Amino acid sequence: MIPIDRRSALRAAAGVAVTGALATGCTDGASDSVPPSAVPSGSPSATGSRTGGSRPVAQAAPAPRRFPGLPAEIEHGPRDRPGVALTFHGQGDPATATALLAEAERAGAHVTVLAVGTWLDEHPALARRILDGGHDLGNHTLHHVDISEMDEERAYAEIVGCADRLRRLTGSIGTWFRPSRTQHATELVRRLAARAGYPHVLSYDVDSLDFTSPGATAVTRAVTDEIRNGSVVSLHFGYADTVAALPALLDALKRRGMRAVTTTELLT
């Protein structure tokens, strides 16, 4: 129902900013191509607390999709096509986030950002910045604590807490969910993610280990040693090594004929 690529529509709608539309539950006039069902007036986002303030909402971002034939936990895409997905833990200094996005865009690459909910509270403009760059935006829990160790009620609150913030800022709960502090979701977390509206959880098959700050060269090498067609790579905002590594990493991918695409494009 909702087209995947809404960049041009988003730009067109940018001049029709409807301040506080989600807060009032009124989506009329946001854009003539937004179905009223995109933001149900009875949804928690319409009436919930607002930590991000009253922001212009141009148009609902893409919603999660079910990919038939793919498992509940996705680790990689097809191995017979040259696409790869660079996926970022979305937290930390917003300057590293915008630097990484700009560098990716300079190279014609698109990435996937799994945003931590409290990070969106601190930097609400980044949600739209990520979408406007043609990247995927998803949910990486509210507080980024060890979700595998939580009971059902607290784990679910971590998932929907971030989903609510994404919905308030973008009109969608985001295209992906990745659990916090683990490569693999427990069965409980997979079930709770599905209940919250995410048919799949997003894992990865290549770990850059950039969060250990091993130096830019080591980050690039960790990825290029392991990456192959269809790979989903774990990377992080908030680390200088990652910013320094990205140009060489994107160059290396290009030389090998690989394209850095969003996770949605990787699997579509």
Q: Of the listed pieces 34-42, 86-94, 153-161, 219-227, which binds Zn ion according to CB under 5 A?
A: 86-94
For residue 152 the two structure tokens come to 């059902």
Q: Which is nearer to Zn ion, 89 or 128 (CB)?
A: 89
Q: Which is nearer to Zn ion, 31 or 112 (CB)?
A: 112
For residue 182, the minimal CB distance to Zn ion (Å) is 9
> Could you give the string, one character per residue 38-77, with x where binding to Zn ion holds by CB under 5 A and - elsewhere?
----------------------------------------
Is 79 within 8 Å of 230 (Cβ atoms)? yes
231 beta partners: 76
The Cβ of residue 168 has, within 10 Å, a number of other Cβ atoms equal to 26
233 beta partners: 86, 206
Q: Cα–Cα distance between 209 and 169 in angstroms, integer?
A: 30
* 110 binding Zn ion? (CB under 5 A): no
For residue 114, the minimal CB distance to Zn ion (Å) is 7
Half-sphere exposure in the Cβ direction for 123 (13 Å, CA) = 17
Site for Zn ion in 131-150 (CB under 5 A): none
Site size for Zn ion (CB under 5 A)? 1
* 123 binding Zn ion? (CB under 5 A): no
Residues 114-144, buried b or exposed e (16+ Cβ, 10 A)? bbbbbbbbebbebbbbbbebbbbbbbbbbeb
Region of 230 on the Ramachandran plot (φ > 0 left; ψ -120 to 50 alpha; else beta):
left
Q: Of the listed pieces 13-21, 37-45, 82-90, 196-204, which binds Zn ion according to CB under 5 A?
A: 82-90
Q: Of the listed pieces 70-78, 89-97, 168-176, 203-211, which binds Zn ion according to CB under 5 A?
A: 89-97
Among 6, 55, 76, 89, which residue sits at the site for Zn ion (rule: CB under 5 A)? Answer: 89
Binding site for Zn ion (CB under 5 A): 89
